[in-house]
Amino acid sequence: MAFPHHRHHDRWNEAPELMQLDILAGDQMEELSRESYLPVRVRTDPGFRGEATLEALGDMATLMRVRSTGTFRLFRTDRMAAQPTGSDLLMLCLHVNGRGRVTQNGRHAELTPGTIVLYEAQRPWDLSTHDSLSLGLQFSRDLLPLRMSQISDITARGLAPSPAAVLLSGYLERLDWLAPELNSAQQENAARAAIELLHMTLRGAAPAVPDGAEHVLLEMLRTYVQDHLADPGLTVDGLARHHHISARHVYTLFAATDSTPSMYIRQQRLNAARSMLANPKNADLAVGKIAARVGFTDVRTFERAFQRQFGATPGAWRRDSAGNAARIKAKTPHRP
Residue by residue, what is the 3-state secondary structure of 161-197? CCHHHHHHHHHHHHHHHHHHHCCHHHHHHHHHHHHHH
Given a contact cutoff of 8 angstroms between Cβ atoms, the answer to whether 36 and 65 are in contact is no
Residue 29, pLDDT > 70, answer no
State how far the Cα of 13 lies from the Cα of 17, in Å rounded to an integer.
9
pLDDT for 43 equals 84
Backbone dihedral region for residue 157 (phi beyond 0: left; psi -120 to 50: alpha; all else: beta)? beta
More confident residue, 191 or 223: 191
Question: How far is C-alpha 117 from the chain's CA centre?
Answer: 7
- Percent of the chain residues past pLDDT 70, beyond the cut: 80
Q: Would the pLDDT of 100 be above 80?
A: yes
Q: For 246-275, what is the mean pLDDT?
A: 86
**212-220 long-range Cβ contacts below 8 angstroms, 24+ apart:** 214/253, 214/256, 217/243, 217/245, 217/253, 218/253, 218/254, 218/256, 218/257, 219/110
Q: Is residue 138 within 8 Å of 37, Cβ to Cβ?
A: yes
- pLDDT for the residue 329: 46
| Dihedral over Cα of 295, 300, 301, 306: its sign | positive
CA separation for the pair 72, 67 (Å, rounded): 11
Residue 14 pLDDT grade (very low, low, confident, very high; cuts 50, 70, 90): very low
Q: Supply φ then ψ for residue 311, to 5 degrees.
A: 75, 15
CA distance 93 to 138: 9
Instruction: Report whether 135 contacts 173 (CB < 8 A).
Output: yes
pLDDT tens digits, 198-218: 988 887 654 444 556 677 788
What pLDDT shows up at residue 12? 31
Q: What b/e readout covers 249-277, taking b as 16+ CB neighbours within 10 angstroms?
A: bbeebbebbbbebeebbbbbbbbbbbbbb
Asked if residue 96 lies in contact with residue 135, where contact means CB atoms within 8 angstroms, the answer is: yes
Residue 45 host element (H or E): none
Tell me how long the chain is.
336
CA distances from 222 to 32, 146, 279 (A): 33, 30, 24
Pick left, alpha or beta for residue 208 (phi over 0 → left; psi -120 to 50 → alpha; otherwise beta): alpha
Best CA proximity match to 314, nearest among 268, 283, 329, 325: 283
The pLDDT tens digits for 35-68 are 555 778 888 887 788 888 888 898 789 999 888 8
pLDDT over 50 at 285, yes or no: yes
> What domains can be seen in the chain, in order of their start residue?
9-203 (2.60.120.10), 212-328 (1.10.10.60)
